[in-house]
Structure 1
Amino acid sequence: MSQTPRDRDASATEPPAESPGQAPRSQQKAHALGLTSATGLVIGSVVGTGVFTMPAVMAGAGTMSIVVLAVVAVGAMVLALLFGQLTKRLPHSDGGLYAYARYEFGDFAGYLVGWSYWISAWAGNAAIVASWVFYVDAMLDLHDPSGLVNWGIALTGLWVPAIVNLVGVQQMAWFQNITVVMKFLPLLFIGAFGWIFVNNANFGAFNATGGSLYSGIGIAAGVALFSFIGVEAAAITAKRVRNPRVNVGRASLIGTCASAVLYVLVTAAVMGLVPHGTLVNTGSPFVDAFQVMFPGTAWAGRFIAVVAVISGIGALNGWTLIVTESSRAMAQDGLFPRPFAWADRNGTAWFGIVVGALLPSLLMLWRYLSGPGLTVFTYLVNLTVMTVAIAYFFSALAQLTYLVSHRRRVEGRRLARDIVVAATGVVFSMWLTFASGYQVVYQGLVVILAGMVGYALLNARRQRLGESAEPAGSSPAEPDADPTVADRSIPAKEVA
């Protein structure tokens, strides 16, 4: 008798007797991410190139955007707690958010979450590299380069991380830790010491939009929500983390908290360093901030460009692994094309890495040949937020279902606390979708529905091979049906 997804996943999560709470020794080589590397992966995935333009966008909404950013940061930390709780319950689940939904709701929900998240991951890489190219142009002092030149730069940003990931997870973790330190320290320097030079007169109005408070919140929330995508990085790669039952939750919370503190400190400091009128009209707010701190210097612009390039390449490095692991898990369960599970002798899913870099490469070629400018970037950002919100939503629902189904032994305050965390995750995920805007939700729905065609074909293949049960109400074969095909419909006595 075939096992249900829950049965398979439950058995997969049982820790081996030789090492409680950890994977078997045969898998230790693949588990190359310790707590430090897993935390670095979270920080590197959250803090990308967006932080270098965030203060300018936030200033357009007014100083209330700092409050909005803090609220979104709290929501992101709730999600980090949620993913830690889910991974503690399913410590060796493969695919993170996809695995949570599949375990609780079955294959279709798992595929829906996995497809949505995979789209958001590689589309997010395209959005990151689109912004990254501008900083490379500034670093190399390139003025109005051609579309093909910028495409070549974009390919470098996409394929260098792909090559690092192809070499192996250990090398990827080393590269990630180095880039996190190199980008985190300069940003923290501004967030900490920049306050010495802050002028209170530079802060704009609480609501600088000239419209309603609601419209200002919408402007600030959109940027803030996109900036925190990546809190789930450790959960997605849980199979690569040592002692995931403990380290995934810790890495998620520590990485998210560190990113949140950095975001709030840096954004508020830059708003106080640069006059409001200048800040809202600049695309490089950190250059202006450094010039206030170090007046008369000519190196500020180049320095910030270098930091932004390092930050972007670090984010792309982490997201390349996330794209790969999300597709690999689905392919191993027969819910994605089999090649995405192909692995080399080091356990690296090389096909998933190549496709995960190829798709944004082609998208960037279209972007630079068609010349839509920021239109494509803005669309990719919003599409990423909308599709990842679906994965967050189902993860929160999976935990909420578990908590209220009386399968949990612990009662009292701990149960109430965990229900609050799960319910907050549900509401926060719905807000993510709402903040994306009607047009993006409509277009994102089309992308998701297109993915359902793939599920229909994959499910048909699995039923044909006997890997998935046919619907319970299937009718017996017709008289002229192929007699060599076994009738897997339920017995008549069971129907009765």
Structure 2
Amino acid sequence: MTNKAGGPGRKLGLFAAIALVMGNMIGSGVFLLPASLAPFGWNAVAAWIATISGALVLAYVLARLTKAFPEAGGPTGFVQEAFGSVAAFLIGWVFLVSIWTGVVTIAVAAISYLSSMVPGIADAPLRPAILAAITVWLLTLLNLRGVKAAGNFQVVTVLIKIIPLVVVIIIAAALLGGGTGEIAPFKPETISLTAINGAAALTLWALLGFECASVATARVENAPVNVPRATMWGTALTGLLYLLVCSAIALMLPAEIASRSPAPFATFVERYWAPGPAALIAVFAVVSCVGALNGWMIMVGELPRTMAEKGMLPAWFGVTDSNGTPRRALLVSAVIATVLVMMNASRTMQELFEFLLLLSTSANLWLYLACAMAAVRLKVALPFAFVGIAYSLWTLWGAGLDASGLSLVLMLAGLPLYWWAKKDRKVAAL
């Protein structure tokens, strides 16, 4: 067995590929979602089921596209195969927008959990936004040192994020199994399609990232078999974990407590265990958010550089230093993230988290919608592709006109950069 770069010894097996999918999906979303979902009650449980089902359909479409067009190089490549370079740029650009807004959302989640340990953070209107911006810049500085430093930091934080989830599941199982725990009663008359739709737009945020296995096709052993399996199993296992954890917190905590908590995981553990472990859970949640933020910061540097190398962004974004670090892309991304968070600084932390969550989810949904439409155009997994289109449109509607409309405007706003890149290519060809 060879150990050369790209050879079998350097590739991911099935279980490693599943871990890649789950690791990229489990970030900050789950730690604040119980507060956002608490007002929806049992509608949130139905939303999780709808979201997991929709994510699995989209994941299957991406897996089939990867198998049919392995040379495309990922989701934007599928769109280029079906609709051309302009459509591919728009989808790649809006995907980058979703990462920018995702970075801010994760930073807000970290500060929200920090505020449960340092209550004064939430007292001043601008303080949470300023601290979120500072967090973004600290991680930017770490990534400016190079991908090796960022990667080492990521290794340290990746396992910590699982601890709070496991603790909540154990506590909930012990309480319900011992007959001492109660969940909110199920009332069929409170279930509505509108409420499920609204909750589903929130739950999808926690499942974003299931496309990563198709992007990493070249790094997976026996990719035609293992990429679809890893995508499906990783999405299903993460969705099940989220369904259990978020439903336990949202249904076992009184709705008025869960919805107002800046750190619902810590609130749950404190109520049903003790304050000491709850404080520790909050620390784990902050570390998890920072670790997830670091992973996304790696992407906000690498994605613009890759797009520039493919001629989809101006060459200026692709310039790297002697260590191969895309400094310009990182700094521009940090500035954009700061502007986004400060533009919405007047909102409460929960309002800021929910708005940015919906904006990031909406931006990502254009990518999923385009890939499903590409599958129809390329005649790949047609029944699932049609369902994927319907699900993407349904969730875009659930995200609301503000978030979905703004994400569309931001997508189109990138066109001047495409024309700039096109002009660069013409000049370089002379």
TM over 0.5: yes
- Mapping 1:37-436, distance limit 5 Å: 39-91=18-70, 93-94=72-73, 96-140=74-118, 142-144=120-122, 146=124, 150=128, 153-169=131-147, 172-198=150-176, 201-206=182-187, 213-236=192-215, 241=219, 243=221, 245=223, 248-294=227-273, 297-344=274-321, 347-368=324-345, 371-374=346-349, 375-403=351-379, 418-436=381-399
Measure the CA separation in 2 of the matches of 1:168 and 1:34.
27
- Higher relative contact order (CA closer than 8 Å, sequence separation 6+): 2
Q: Distance in 2 between matches of 1:171 and 1:237?
A: 21
- 1:197: Cα distance to partner? 0.8
* Alpha-carbon contact 1:165-1:321 (below 8 Å) kept: yes
How far residue 306 of structure 1 moved from its aligned partner, in angstroms, is 0.8
Tell me which amino acid in the other structure corresponds to 2:363: T
The SS at the match of 1:182 is coil
Deviation at 1:277, TM superposition (A): 4.6
Instruction: Report SS of the residue matched to 2:403.
Output: helix
**3-state SS in 2 of match to 1:335:** coil
The 1:289–1:283 alpha-carbon spacing in structure 2 relative to 1, beyond 3 Å, is same
Segment of structure 1 superposing worse, 280-289 or 306-315: 280-289
Q: What residue identity is the alignment partner of 2:160?
A: M
> In 2, distance between residues paired with 1:367 and 1:330?
29
AA partner of residue 158 (structure 1): V
Output the CA distance in 2 between the equivalents of 1:427 and 1:75: 9
Aligned partners of 2:409, 2:314: CA distance in 1, in Å? Answer: 21
Point out the structure with the larger helix share.
2
How big is the shift at 1:452?
Answer: 2.1
Distance 1:81 1:163, change over 3 A: farther
Secondary structure of the 1:299 match is helix
Asked which structure has the greater CA Rg, the reply is: 1
Query: What's the offset of the Cα at 1:159?
Result: 3.7
TM-score by length of 1: 0.74
Structure 1: tracts of 5 or more residues without a match: 1-17, 405-417, 468-496
Letter of the aligned partner of 2:109 in structure 1? S
* Preserved CA contact (<8 Å) 2:17 2:220: no
**What's the Cα RMSD here?**
3.4
The residue type equivalent to 1:214 in the other structure is: L
Deviations 1:237-294 (A, max 9, x none): 556x455835654543343223212111112222453234533443433233213432
Deviations 1:420-472 (A, max 9, x none): 332322222222222121233333332222222332343344456559xxxxx
Q: 1:224 Cα shift?
A: 0.8
TM-fit CA distance, 1:228: 1.5
For residues 139 and 91 of structure 1, the distance between their equivalents in structure 2, rounded to whole angstroms, comes to 47
Aligned to 1:480: none
Amino acid at match of 1:98: T
SS at match of 2:320: coil
> What is the deviation of 1:109?
0.9
Q: Number of residue pairs matched?
A: 424
CA–CA distance in 1 between the matches of 2:256 and 2:285?
23
Cα deviations by residue, 1:371-415 (Å, 9 ceiling, x for unpaired): 3335544432222122211111111222232226xxxxxxxxxxx
Q: Deviations over 1:461-485 (max 9, x none)?
A: 4456559xxxxxxxxxxxxxxxxxx
Q: Which moved more, 1:135-144 or 1:62-71?
A: 135-144
Distance 1:376 1:288 in 2: 20
Unaligned stretches of 5+ in structure 2? Answer: none
Q: Which amino acid counterpart does residue 389 of structure 1 have in structure 2? A: L
- C-alpha separation between the residues in 2 aligned to 1:466 and 1:244? 39
Per the TM alignment, residue 113 of structure 1 is displaced from its structure 2 partner at its CA by: 0.5
Distance of 1:119 and 1:236 partners within structure 2? 18
Contact persistence 2:60–2:232 (CA under 8 A): yes
Contact kept, 8 Å, 2:116 with 2:263, in 1: the verdict is: no
- Output the amino acid matched with 2:410: V
Question: Post-superposition shift, 1:218?
Answer: 2.7
- Summarize deviations over 1:116-141 as a string: whole Å, max 9, x none: 11111111111221222121233345
Q: Identity across aligned pairs (percent)? A: 28
